[in-house]
Structure 1
């Protein structure tokens, strides 16, 4: 839904007021996007430390407060002791051990609640003051609804970890939850860029820009596919095996790549195939980014678009190197969390490059 960016007079007070309002809304949206970035990193830390199943209740209001008495701590601990993760992974670690994993999951959920307020309250303020740019209200309303859905999807994911003989959440639900977080982040950043930069003017882009744009988009969508593939790596803990690079147990394509039946299950449930596919798509992303960077260097004049492509290239290179380091060190929580957080950096840089290379407005 395009925003109404018509201008009546470059120097009129009405235009200056409209531009000031647009910038204020854009900065608010970027702050929300930064909070989502932190939320995704917290989610990675929660998963890697095995903390995600420690809270067995979905209490959107009451859950804003942590346990305030020993009796409440004991009640929550007793609930946790009924699920397979306690029986099969953490049996006997006591209430102090429970508190250690509880706090990270509680912070993750509390941050999500703060995010809701950080979005809703400024939105209402801007709406009351008439500062929401024309055409933007439906998009902002939809983003709020999607944010609420993300909370429900998070609980849907967590609940899968309570099933018999399961000690982690469903990898499919994990990928849905992670994918929705990336989608929300991307939509908010894109909206902020619309407000701050608009579309290129007619005549600002030529055939060279179109060629670079196509190469950047190829790298961007490969990066997005790599992120979703990484969700399945996380979901089935595929990073804890085949901790060598570039070969996997001495082979380019690991043994057992197509062991599961039906064949499609190998894409999501076969540890060897899931890790290999993640490596393969990540490598294709890096190669596509090399091509896009060379094209930008040769074809684009100095400016925001050219610099955005270079920043995207740097983010992809750093993420590739960090992924290798995380794998070789057998996924320590600190590196695993950084790897998930830097994926958001790749997404942000790609959005900036894509936005700057769009076709001019008609």
Structure 2
């Protein structure tokens, strides 16, 4: 329809101006943010369970019970006596059985086999849940603008994690190895925490409208965000060191605190040649480094908390209070784990608390960067 001609004598103020539609910034390509968030929360829960089961697999010495990587055929456990015998015979050829578990019965083998099979099966389930969700939203064109690459990244990291898992297991099948290489275990666990961190961050972001995030970012506390970023990196290093401790059972080496045995330093920390191997294989030195790093992390967490409690935003302050509370709890559980020589039920609680602490630190960073609006009374 043609527009009506305007008179040259018409007042400018008489011209009707277009009215901006509310929520315009979210109107284009907002996608199914709520549904994707629920899907990611399901993935998050599965990854947490995966980390816990992985820890128990390590603590029960079950990780080397399956001696091949069969992504498709391995999804089905042995279904008859002959198949079980074949799996058991393959296990009998590796050093762990020969030097540590010789004489193990078939029923005992089935226990450790099912732990490892369950761990791998859970990985397959996570991959399937990611693939079904991603392609469902992709084909229905419900992924918000800018989010396709982020969601695809999760799938890529998951595939990489499967490959690293086998890279880790294969190290324990070699001659002279009774367990997997500790640095490979640390790589495997570290990537699991990276995946969990990405999922958690995406869940936080999808919990609010894009327009709200853009607005709240203007009120973000840059220095607090930077400090929390350093805290995240520091915590990640401590997680890797914890994996090194678990990899060689170093948590059971010195069941004393605050001293290590009768002294501050472990005795004879550099006996292994070449010297660099001590940082990965000497139980006393690895546990000592983990302890010292924990003290430094705790001190830095207090410093960050002192900065966080000065925030004008109540929810941001609460987020940093939660970080300090979880840090204190984790320190106490860590000490108890050492004093009781790292029994499985306490050690797994220590690992699970690390997961919770990791997410709580990420949440505090999110609140510092995207503070949730509050009333003047709330401030």
Task: Say whether the fold is shared (TM-score over 0.5).
Answer: yes
Matches within 5 A, 1:194-273: 194-197=205-208, 198-199=213-214, 201=216, 203-205=218-220, 209-273=221-285
Cα 1:90–1:10 shift into 2, 3 Å: farther
Q: Which residue of 2 aligns with 1:102?
A: 113
Q: Compute the RMSD of aligned alpha carbons.
A: 2.1
- Conservation of the 8 A alpha-carbon contact between 1:233 and 1:274: yes
| 1:23, distance to aligned residue in structure 2 (A) | 2.2
Tell me, in whole angstroms, the C-alpha distance in 1 between the residues paired with 2:367 and 2:215. Answer: 7
Tell me, in whole angstroms, the C-alpha distance in 1 between the residues paired with 2:158 and 2:114. Answer: 23
Bigger CA drift: 16-25 or 57-66?
16-25
- Conservation of the 8 A alpha-carbon contact between 1:326 and 1:332: yes
Cα 1:251–1:18 shift into 2, 3 Å: same
1:322 aligned residue (329, 333, 337): 333
1:115 aligned residue (108, 120, 126): 126
Tell me, in whole angstroms, the C-alpha distance in 1 between the residues paired with 2:312 and 2:41. Answer: 27
Matches within 5 A, 1:161-172: 161-172=172-183
Normalised by the size of structure 1, how large is the TM-score? 0.90
1:340 aligns to 2:327 (yes or no): no
Q: Which residue of 2 aligns with 1:289?
A: 301
Deviation per CA, 1:204-252, whole angstroms, max 9, x where unpaired?
A: 23xxx33433443333222111101111111122111111111101222
Deviation per CA, 1:4-29, whole angstroms, max 9, x where unpaired?
A: xxxx84457x9479657112212211
SS of alignment partner, residue 123 of structure 2? helix
- Conservation of the 8 A alpha-carbon contact between 1:215 and 1:291: no
- Conservation of the 8 A alpha-carbon contact between 1:178 and 1:231: yes
SS of alignment partner, residue 302 of structure 2? helix
Cα 1:156–1:252 shift into 2, 3 Å: same
Tell me, in whole angstroms, the C-alpha distance in 1 between the residues paired with 2:49 and 2:214. Answer: 29
Tell me, in whole angstroms, the C-alpha distance in 2 between the residues paired with 1:322 and 1:267. Answer: 24
| 1:278, distance to aligned residue in structure 2 (A) | 0.5
| 1:108, distance to aligned residue in structure 2 (A) | 0.6
Tell me, in whole angstroms, the C-alpha distance in 2 between the residues paired with 1:267 and 1:232. Answer: 9
Tell me, in whole angstroms, the C-alpha distance in 1 between the residues paired with 2:23 and 2:178. Answer: 63
The structure with the largest alpha-carbon Rg is 2
1:176 aligns to 2:191 (yes or no): no
SS of alignment partner, residue 369 of structure 2? coil
Structure 1: tracts of 5 or more residues without a match: 1-7
Q: Which residue of 1 aligns with 2:11?
A: none
- Conservation of the 8 A alpha-carbon contact between 2:168 and 2:181: yes
SS of alignment partner, residue 204 of structure 1? coil
Matches within 5 A, 1:146-161: 146-161=157-172
Deviation per CA, 1:241-287, whole angstroms, max 9, x where unpaired?
A: 11111110122222323444554433322222211110111111111
Tell me, in whole angstroms, the C-alpha distance in 2 between the residues paired with 1:330 and 1:338. Answer: 14
Cα 1:141–1:96 shift into 2, 3 Å: same
- Conservation of the 8 A alpha-carbon contact between 2:52 and 2:348: yes
2:140 aligned residue (129, 136, 140): 129
Normalised by the size of structure 2, how large is the TM-score? 0.86
Cα 1:142–1:16 shift into 2, 3 Å: same
Tell me, in whole angstroms, the C-alpha distance in 1 between the residues paired with 2:370 and 2:353. Answer: 28
How many residues end up aligned between the 2 structures?
348
- Conservation of the 8 A alpha-carbon contact between 2:30 and 2:145: no
Q: Which residue of 1 aligns with 2:94?
A: 83
Tell me, in whole angstroms, the C-alpha distance in 2 between the residues paired with 1:144 and 1:315. Answer: 30
Tell me, in whole angstroms, the C-alpha distance in 2 between the residues paired with 1:184 and 1:20. Answer: 23
1:35 aligns to 2:46 (yes or no): yes
Cα 1:137–1:154 shift into 2, 3 Å: same
Structure 2: tracts of 5 or more residues without a match: 1-19, 372-379
